[in-house]
């Protein structure tokens, strides 16, 4: 095997940041790059997939103060060693969704935690963007998830088919050895098996002895009606395969509902704004209002002011966890007429003349200017 460390790009370069960039900005840079190269946005593009892994690997190191310090001092060699001897790809790949579930995976850098070689697979998170319509009505989505699956030829053991892993002769399967140093006896991770307790003399060719291989799984996810941003759907056992026969992790589908051009959602309620002519607002009229299930009529009473909120009961969202259906709240916004003909302007001037002086036509305006008058009188 060629040395994978030789061909690696500088992690700072990968994320497009400099060595003194603040942690917060490194995170931002990572998110930007991860979005750009996410396999879902670049289906079938092997180069993007490689970039995606590279970005995740870089972030895994630069987001961890200890690893970052080691990297700053020793370069790639400084962080590859401590990663539990799993080889290059494991850490980076597992951390794709590690933002939230990273702790479950454990990172593998701590000393004594590697006693058992049987480990549960990492949980994965998948961010799913939905339209408001799909979120409200429910939908079935097909998603592609990069993950680690158990290797077929070796049945996940990592040993070449027909052979099997042997108990490590150095530590007798303990994974730890005692070293005598002068007066002291020091317990150390076994250098032969790197704490696994077993050695594979003939590694499986398909997984290079890892027992797991990278694969992009296509899964069908049923989204129940009424989900909202922040809701999570768990697909049990669809996370990464466990190592050495450990159980698989889970996959969490994290819902994000996209902005809608007409409706704004607040829990079970929907909001929308509808322009209304000042004639309709003054005389009253009927407006056509969009709902998620088609148009409905809304009667607007005479003397309606701009900004007034009308509640259409039951035209909102049925919450995914049950409970009453929400409402649609319609805000009418008065539209000032534009592109008027000279005749229309004349009519408005006549209207103006006719209503001038009559305080009762503009109670708000009058009370406002009374307050202004009072304000200036108080000042003097």
Smallest separation, CB 115 to Zn ion (Å): 12
Q: Give the residue, chosen from 17, 151, 221, 253, that forms a contact with Zn ion under the rule CB under 5 A.
A: 151
Comparison of 207 and 317: residue with beta carbon closer to Zn ion = 207
Instruction: Give the nearer residue to Zn ion in terms of CB position, either 21 or 206.
Output: 206
Count of residues in contact with Zn ion, rule CB under 5 A:
11
Nearest distance, CB of residue 246 and Zn ion, angstroms:
15
Query: Is 148 an interacting residue with respect to Zn ion (CB under 5 A)?
Result: no
Report phi then psi at 93, rounded to 5: -70, -40
Output phi, psi for 117, to 5 deg.
-85, -10
Contact 66, 81 (CB under 8 A): no
- Say whether residue 171 binds Zn ion (CB under 5 A): yes
Strand partners, 213: 149
Are the beta carbons of 159 and 204 closer than 8 angstroms?
yes
Residue of the chain from 81, 170, 256, 367 that contacts Zn ion (CB under 5 A)? 170
Give 193 or 332: the residue with its C-beta nearer to Zn ion. Answer: 193
Contact set for Zn ion, span 342-361 (CB under 5 A): none
The stretch among 60-68, 116-124, 138-146, 162-170 that binds Zn ion (CB under 5 A) is 162-170
Minimum distance of Zn ion from residue 206's CB (angstroms): 5
The torsion defined by the Cα of 232, 238, 240 and 243, in degrees rounded to 10, comes to: 130
Cα–Cα distances in angstroms (integers) from residue 143 to residues 21, 212, 251, 329, 342, in the given order: 34, 21, 11, 34, 60
Would you say 185 or 341 has its CB closer to Zn ion?
Answer: 185
Q: Which is nearer to Zn ion, 15 or 193 (CB)?
A: 193
Task: Work out how close the CB of 175 gets to Zn ion at its nearest, in angstroms, rounded to a whole number.
Answer: 6
| Smallest distance from Zn ion to CB 171, Å | 3
Taking contact as CB under 5 A, which single stretch among the options 68-76, 160-168, 256-264, 354-362 is the one that binds Zn ion? 160-168
| Residues numbered 182-241 forming contacts with Zn ion, rule: CB under 5 A | 190, 192-193, 204, 206-207
- What is the closest distance, in whole angstroms, from the C-beta atom of residue 244 to Zn ion in the complex? 12
Q: Which is nearer to Zn ion, 134 or 196 (CB)?
A: 196
Stretch that binds Zn ion, among 75-83, 163-171, 296-304, 355-363 (CB under 5 A): 163-171
- Run of H or E including 190: none
Among 29, 168, 276, 317, binds Zn ion (CB under 5 A): 168
Could you tell me the two tokens for 263? 């409706």
Please identify, using beta-carbon distances, which residue of 151 and 287 lies nearer to Zn ion: 151
Task: Give the list of residues 6+ apart from residue 102 with CB closer than 8 angstroms, or none.
Answer: 95
Q: Which is nearer to Zn ion, 29 or 151 (CB)?
A: 151
Helix (H) or strand (E) holding 179: strand 176-181
Segment 109 to 128, residues that bind Zn ion, using CB under 5 A: none
Of 94 and 189, nearer to Zn ion (C-beta) is 189
Is 154 a binding residue for Zn ion by CB under 5 A? The answer is yes
CA distance 260 to 291: 12
Helical pair 65-74 and 46-62, crossing angle rounded to 10 deg: 100
Gap between the terminal Cα atoms of the chain = 90
DSSP string spanning 305-355?
A: PTT-EEEETT-S---TT-S----EEEEEEEE---S--HHHHHHHHHHHHHH
Dihedral of CA atoms 351, 356, 358, 363 in degrees, nearest 10, equals: 90
* Segment holding 46, helix H or strand E: helix 46-62
Shortest separation between residue 224's beta carbon and Zn ion, angstroms: 38
Residues forming the site for Zn ion (CB under 5 A)? 151, 154, 168, 170-171, 190, 192-193, 204, 206-207
């Amino acid at each position: 095997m060629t040395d994978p460390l030789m061909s690696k790009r500088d992690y700072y370069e990968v994320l497009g940041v400099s060595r003194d960039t603040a942690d917060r900005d490194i995170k931002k840079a990572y998110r930007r790059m991860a979005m750009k190269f996410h396999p879902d946005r670049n289906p079938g593009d092997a180069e993007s997939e490689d970039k995606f892994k590279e970005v995740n690997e870089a972030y895994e190191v630069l987001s961890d103060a200890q690893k970052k310090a080691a990297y700053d001092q020793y370069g790639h060699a400084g962080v590859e060693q401590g990663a539990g001897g799993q080889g290059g790809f494991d850490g980076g790949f597992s951390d794709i969704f590690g933002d939230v579930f990273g702790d479950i995976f454990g990172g593998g850098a701590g000393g004594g935690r590697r006693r058992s070689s049987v480990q549960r697979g990492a949980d994965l998170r998948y961010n799913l963007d939905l339209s408001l319509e799909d979120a409200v009505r429910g939908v079935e989505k097909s998603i592609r998830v990069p993950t680690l699956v158990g290797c077929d030829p070796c049945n996940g053991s990592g040993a070449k088919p027909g052979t099997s892993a042997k108990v490590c002769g150095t530590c007798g399967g303990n994974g730890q050895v005692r070293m005598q140093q002068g007066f002291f006896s020091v317990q150390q991770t076994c250098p032969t098996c790197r704490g696994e307790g077993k050695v594979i003399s003939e590694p499986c060719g398909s997984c290079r002895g890892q027992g797991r291989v990278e694969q992009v799984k296509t899964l069908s996810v049923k989204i129940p009606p009424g989900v909202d941003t922040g809701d999570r759907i768990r697909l049990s056992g669809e996370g990464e395969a466990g190592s050495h026969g450990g159980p698989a992790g889970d996959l969490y589908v994290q819902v994000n509902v996209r902005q809608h051009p007409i409706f704004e959602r607040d829990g079970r309620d929907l909001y929308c704004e509808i322009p209304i002519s000042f004639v309709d607002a003054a005389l009253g009229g009927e407006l056509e209002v969009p709902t998620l299930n088609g148009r409905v009529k809304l009667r607007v009473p005479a003397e309606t002011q701009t900004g007034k909120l009308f509640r259409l009961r039951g035209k909102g969202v049925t919450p995914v966890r049950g409970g009453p259906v929400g409402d649609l709240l319609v805000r009418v916004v008065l539209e000032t007429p534009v592109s008027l003909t000279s005749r229309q302007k004349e009519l408005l001037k006549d209207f103006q003349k006719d209503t001038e002086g009559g305080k009762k036509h503009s109670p708000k305006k009058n009370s406002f200017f009374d307050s202004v008058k009072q304000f200036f009188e108080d000042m003097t």
